[in-house]
Amino acid sequence: MQAKKRRTKTQKVDFSSLDDLFGFRLRLAQVRLFQHFRESLASFEVTPGQAGLLILIRDNPGISQSGLARAVEVERATLGQTIEGLLKRQIVTRHRREGDRRAYSLELSESGKAFVDRLIPAIRAHEADVSRRLTASEFERLRSLLEKFLG
């Protein structure tokens, strides 16, 4: 017996009341960016947030977990869960900080360094693909405006 194909109707949604809301547009852009990231970097099995953390750890070896949490503006508990996953994958190493046994220093493992070295070009390719509708100057202006907005 052949299953009936479901026909889904796409309901047209009126966005006119949201069109001029910066936060709404920014959120839609983030959703698209993250969807494309997941699709184009699926083989890395890493989220955009994890990728950012790994790059920050690479560029700031020995950073404390609390310092990293402050830098990316997330709660320490949330970051702790993410770091645990990266530790299990042996991408990140964690050591107690000398002088403060409550604090941990983070570094990339050797395999983590190699992973990030492969990851960064893939992220750059992803960004080039998602920004292809913008000219180089438009992309630079967008980046500059976002930097200004973030202060």
- Paired tokens of 130: 């998602």
pLDDT for the residue numbered 107: 97
pLDDT for the residue numbered 7: 59
Task: Provide the Cα torsion 88, 89, 95, 100; round to 10°.
Answer: -60
pLDDT for the residue numbered 98: 80
Low-confidence ranges of the chain (pLDDT < 50): 1
**Which residues, other chains included, contact 93 with Cβ-Cβ below 8 Å and sequence gap of 6+?**
87, 106, 107, 108, 109, 112
CA distances from residue 132 to 15, 30, 121, 126, 135 in whole angstroms, order as listed:
25, 16, 16, 10, 7
Task: Specify the pairing of strand 100-108 against strand 92-97.
Answer: antiparallel
pLDDT for the residue numbered 84: 95
pLDDT for the residue numbered 137: 96
